[in-house]
Amino acid sequence: MKGLQLIPDDTHLDFIGKRYLAFAFSAILMLASIGLVATKGLNFGIDFTGGTVIEIKTPSTPDIGALRTELNGLGLGAISIQEFGAEDDLLIRLPQQQSVHDDGEEQKAAIETVRVALDARYGDFENDEGEAGVDYRRVEFVGPQVGAELKKQGAMAVLFSLFGILAYVWFRFEWQFGVASIVALAHDAVLTVGLFALTQMEFNLSTVAAVLMIAGYSINDTVVVFDRIRENLRKYKKMPIGELFNLSINNTLSRTLMTSATTVLALVALYVFGGEVLRGFIYALMFGIVIGTYSSIFVAAPLLMFMNIKRSDIGDIGSGGDVVEEDS
């Protein structure tokens, strides 16, 4: 008895025939992403900018507008306040305070000033458990030098991962496959960063980790398609390249889509039940998996059409068996 199968084995979708439309669509998205980053910029978190994050739970539903006005009147710079899950859960961001000696004393004084203001405002209120005052859940401080260093290291991590993937695919296949895979991965990374510029969600170290995971997931899909292309290049000696690429993509379509769908289902559960701290990370992963699946089918594989792939270049590299000649 055959199990559940959402994608038929005998699909014959013309992905290669739509490659120019896909390239135009991807180019528009990439240009829009670059434009958004250049104009709106990224909402860098404390990890990169330096400063302080204070997460609190107030004993009553706060008036965020009034609280923002009060805290910004303390002379500590532009303080941002946002809900962090429930209405009475707040995330307060304090900008980096100027320090002559760079010893963090000004930042500590700023945190204490905010504490005094919050305690004065909510000290007489009681929550549902009968506890009075503000519940300080976490206070995180990152210095400006650490933030700049983390930003540099995050960028280097992404670049080194791309070069590592290029080297692996080049060794595993041929240089043409490596170039196509890197272009597809750059496509995924740029679009993910563009999404954060559009939504202005906080871009922090967990987002960088998500970009790296997206690259790993996307290259996994791409390698599966590339492996089938190489196999078919050995197998069908007379089949036109465009038809052969279409056949290879359709052969792997069921595996690619089912893997992506099940992964997204797991991420949806994490997004719903994982709490606010994981939201940005999961948000980036869900978007990246969809984009990575798209790029494996519509970007990476069609790009090989322009790489002058020859059957004579494939040989037996990585195969372990004899070349089988078969007419299409």
Q: What is the CATH number of domain 51-142?
A: 3.30.70.3400
Q: How far apart are CA 78 and CA 24, in angstroms?
A: 41
**What Å distances lie between residue 232 and 112, 174, 240, 248, CA to CA?**
67, 15, 11, 7
Q: Which residue numbers in the chain have pLDDT < 70?
A: 1-10, 85, 98-104, 123-132, 143-147, 274-277, 310-328
- Residue 97, Cβ neighbours under 10 Å: how many? 19
Contact predicate 110/94, CB 8 Å: yes
The SS3 assignment for 43 reads strand
Q: Is the four-CA dihedral 308, 312, 317, 323 of positive or negative sign?
A: positive
Q: Measuring CA to CA, which residue among 302, 298, 295, 257 is closest to residue 7?
A: 257
Question: Residue 320 has what pLDDT?
Answer: 40
The SS3 assignment for 69 reads helix
Q: Is the four-CA dihedral 147, 86, 213, 27 of positive or negative sign?
A: negative
Q: Measuring CA to CA, which residue among 92, 15, 78, 1 is closest to residue 257?
A: 15
pLDDT digits (tens, 9 = 90+) for 45-69: 777 777 788 888 887 777 778 888 8
For the chain, how big is the Rg over CA atoms in Å?
A: 26
Question: Residue 170 has what pLDDT?
Answer: 77
Question: Residue 36 has what pLDDT?
Answer: 93
- In percent, how much of the chain has pLDDT > 90? 8
| Fold entry, domain 16-44+147-311 | Multidrug efflux transporter AcrB transmembrane fold (1.20.1640)
The SS3 assignment for 132 reads strand
Question: Residue 75 has what pLDDT?
Answer: 79
**DSSP assignment string, 189-208:** HHHHHHHHHHH--EE-HHHH
Q: How far apart are CA 192 and CA 206, in angstroms?
A: 13
The residue extents of the domains of the chain are 16-44+147-311, 51-142
Question: Residue 314 has what pLDDT?
Answer: 63
